[in-house]
Every structure is written in structure tokens, then in C-alpha cells.
Structure 1
Amino acid sequence: MSLPLRFHLDDLSGEPTRALIAGHLAGMHANSPPGSVHAFDIDKLRQPNVTFWSAWFGEEIAGCGALKRLDAQRSELKSMRVADAFRGRGVGRAMLEHLIAEARQRGAQSLWLETGSSAAFIPALRLYESAGFVRCGPFDGYTDDPFSVFMTRAI
């Protein structure tokens, strides 16, 4: 079931957004060794080449995601997260579709991502694979890591 979500460009100053990012970082550190966590904190999400959105259902934050511009033709998905209360309700797919559309509108021809390889990341891997992402090698400064899966797709 998908929810009627509102997507907002988010300046990362609101407490619900900050709490969701903190939970995202905690989850990444709980499921990957420290050197294998590539999730962005608030400061990195505020870099000029990163654009961050939050997804809202009514007054509740349901999820978030960001695009990092790698170059004129490539963007990277960052900080995709669904709030615990909204898991299994289509928020992740809706955010992914939103980010794909935004990247396309901004002129990107391909999207790239890094996610974890442990069992905790299976739902994310299934989502990305169902949306046409395929596994690839490291990109843009990443290195081979058994705790990382790299994926890409043309858009």
C-alpha cells in the first residue's frame, strides 16, 4: 500500500528530520564495521553538491533521501531511510521514484549507490534490484569492501 506523501526539500534543521538521520546513522553503525559505514551525517548532507528531501505523511516524517551530484551526468543516492512506523508501506519505493525523477530532471544519465551487504540490507537490495539497479564495482572513491554492495542504473 502506498501513502499520499509530500516531498519537501529539507534544510535538515527540523527535529523530526534530525532524529531520522540520527536513527539512520545508528542503524548503519549497528550493521557494518566503522570503516565500512558511508552514510552521511547532517554536515555532509549540507554539502553544496548534495540535495536532501524528506517525505511526510500528514505531520509525520515517513522517510528521507538525498542526491549527491558526482559530475554532469552521474548522481549518487544517499541517506535513503524509511521511518520505522512506515516500513512496508511503499515509502521507500516512493522516495526512490522521487529521487530518480529529480536526478533525471537535473540532467543525470545514471544513478549510483552504495549499500550494505549484511542481512539487514536485504530489503534495500531488493528494492534497488526491483527498480532496475544492477551490481557494479566501486565508484567515485569507494574501494572494494565485503560489507558494501555497489549498484548503478541508467535513467
Structure 2
Amino acid sequence: MDIRIDDLSGDDVKALLEEHLQGMALNSPPKSIHALNIEELKKPEITFWSAWDEGALAGCGALKELDAHHGEIKSMRTSSLYLRKGVARSILEHIIEMARYRGYKRLSLETGSMEAFEPAKRLYLKKGFQYCKPFSNYIEDPNSVFMTLEL
């Protein structure tokens, strides 16, 4: 698995992010969708990675700097052809490693509370994340779950 910084210009990446946004729309009410579009992912405080397997896009993920000590995971998505093959785990481990390298003390995320998000929540729990209160600009929402990892 080759995980590399991506400029979001490739058609494969654009298609995967569109699939990600469509998936959020299918599983979450509009006011509870916090997924970022391509232009938002290009902001300077966000680093976006794509994961490749022998030339095929396997998944993606991003790290947003909230402040000098706190990062947020964004846009974690595995290509449907690579589900349950360890792609999400590899990307998550890469993001955690990068957060530590940057000196963050905490890494947080928001995900959905619905059944469709259970595999993601299990992965985060397995990697040491714990449920927490809303962080940054998030507010309590029955459709959202907030998790954090002390680094």
C-alpha cells in the first residue's frame, strides 16, 4: 500500500470523494453532514492522502490542523473494491503517525451515529479512540458521534 500526499486533481480521487459525499447524503440528514468537498479539502490547514494498491486507488483520508496541538481526521473513505482489506486501518495509522510527527497532543473526529458508520467506529475504538463531547465548532447532534485520541 502506497500512501501519499495528493493534490486532489486525479479523476479517481475526485470520483472517490464524490462517492464519499453521496454516501454521507444517503446515511445522514443534510444538517448533520460534515464531510468536506474537494475545494474545502484544498485549504492550507488540511493535508490529504490517497492510498494506492498496484496503481489502483484504494482509499483516502485527511488531517486538518485545528490548532498547534489538536488535529481532526477528515474524509476517511475506502474504495468499494477494497472494503475489509485493511485499507482504512493503514490510512488511519498513517494519519496518527503524521499527527504525532507534527507534535499534536490530541486527534479527534466526527462520524455518524447510524448503523452505516459502525465499522468505522469499531476501527477507531480498536485504535484507542474514545467517545468525547463535541470539539472545535461542532455541537451536540444525535446524528453525530465524536471521538478523540490522546497522543
Asked whether the two chains share a fold, i.e. TM above 0.5, the reply is yes
1:126 pairs with 115, 122, 129, which one? 122
Aligned residues: 151
Match of 2:63 among 47, 62, 67: 67
Q: Give the C-alpha shift of residue 106 in structure 1.
A: 1.1
Deviations 1:34-64 (A, max 9, x none): 0000001001100110000000001100000
Quote the offset at 1:96 in angstroms: 0.3
Q: In the alignment, what sits opposite 1:48?
A: 44
SS of the equivalent of 1:125 reads helix
| RMSD across aligned positions (CA) | 0.5
Q: Write out per-residue CA displacement over residues 21-40 of structure 1, whole angstroms, 9 at most, x where no aligned residue.
A: 00000000100000000001
Aligned partner of 2:80 in structure 1 is 84
CA distance in 1, matches of 2:103, 2:128: 19
- Residue 107 of structure 1 deviates from its aligned partner by 1.2
Partner of 1:111: 107
Q: TM-score, normalised by structure 1?
A: 0.96
Alpha-carbon offset, residue 8 of structure 1 = 1.1
Per-residue Cα deviation, 1:72-99 (whole angstroms, up to 9, x for no partner): 0000000000000000000010000000
- For structure 1, list consecutive stretches of 5 or more residues without a partner in the other structure: none
User: In structure 2, what is the equivalent of residue 141 of structure 1?
Assistant: 137
Letter in 1 for 2:61: G
- Partner letter of residue 6 of structure 2? D
2:97 to 89, 101, 112: 101
Shift in Å at residue 109 of structure 1? 1.1
Output the CA distance in 1 between the equivalents of 2:61 and 2:99.
Answer: 12
- How much identity, in percent, do the aligned residues show? 52
* Partner Cα distance (2:31, 2:40) in 1: 17
Q: Which runs of 4+ in 1 moved over 3 A?
A: none
The AA in structure 2 aligned to 1:42 is I
1:37 aligns with 2:33: yes
Secondary structure at 1:70 match in 2: strand
The runs of 5 or more residues in structure 2 that have no matched partner are none
Amino acid at match of 1:145: D
